[in-house]
Amino acid sequence: MANQKLATVTNELIESYGNTAKNVINAYRVGNERAVVFMDQTFVAALDKTGTRLSAQARSNAVAAEKKLTAYYAKTVEVTSANADTVVNKAVELAGKSVVQVAANAGRFEKSTGVTTLSTLATVAVPAAQAVNKVVAKIEAQSGLLASKIAGKPAKAKVAVKRVAAKKTVRARKAA
C-alpha cells in the first residue's frame, strides 16, 4: 500500500462511496418493501374489524383498490431504486475515468514542462488519501450493516469491509 499512486487510492475512495450509496439505496428499497407489507397487513386487519358492517362488494372493492395502490407504490420504489443504482454506477464509472484522465494529463504536463511539482504533491497526498479511505471504508461497512438490519438478511449491495465490521458487531453484542 505504500507504493500506491494517488489515482489508485482516489479510485478506491470513489468505489467505496459508490458502495455506500448502493447500501443506502438498498436500505430505502427494502424499507419501503417492508412498509408495503405492513400497510397490507394493517389494511386487512382494519377490514376484518369492520365485520359485517361492510358489504361483501364494498370489502372486495376496498381490497382491490388497496392492492392497486400498493402495487403502484411498490413499482415506483422498484423503479426509483433501480434508477438510483444506475446513476451511482455511472457516476462511479465516470469519476474513476476522470481521475485516470487527470493523472495522465498531469503526467503529460510534467513531461512537457519538466516541472515535477504535481507528482510531488500527489506523493505527499497519498497518506492523507489512504487515511480518508480507511474512514470511508468504515462508513461503507456500517451502511452495509444498516441495510442488512433493515432487510433482516444480508444486503444485495457489495460491502468491501463487511467481515471486520460484522466481527465488531458480534463482539459488541456479546459484551452487552
Does residue 155 contact residue 132 with C-beta atoms inside 8 Å? no
Tell me if 167 is assigned to some domain: yes
Tell me if 120 is assigned to some domain: yes
Q: Which domain, by its residues, includes 22?
A: 6-175
Does residue 70 contact residue 40 with C-beta atoms inside 8 Å? yes
- CA nearest 158: which of 143, 173, 136, 176? 143
- CA nearest 43: which of 19, 69, 18? 69
Task: Count Cβ atoms below 10 Å from residue 155 Cβ, excluding itself.
Answer: 23
Q: How far apart are CA 7 and CA 158, in angstroms?
A: 22
Tell me if 1 is assigned to some domain: no
Please tell me the total count of domains within the chain: 1
- Its pTM stands at 0.72
Tell me if 121 is assigned to some domain: yes
Taking only the tens place, the pLDDT of each residue in 13-25 is 999 999 999 999 9
Tell me if 90 is assigned to some domain: yes
Taking only the tens place, the pLDDT of each residue in 135-176 is 999 999 998 888 888 877 554 544 443 333 334 444 444 443
Average pLDDT over residues 123-139: 89
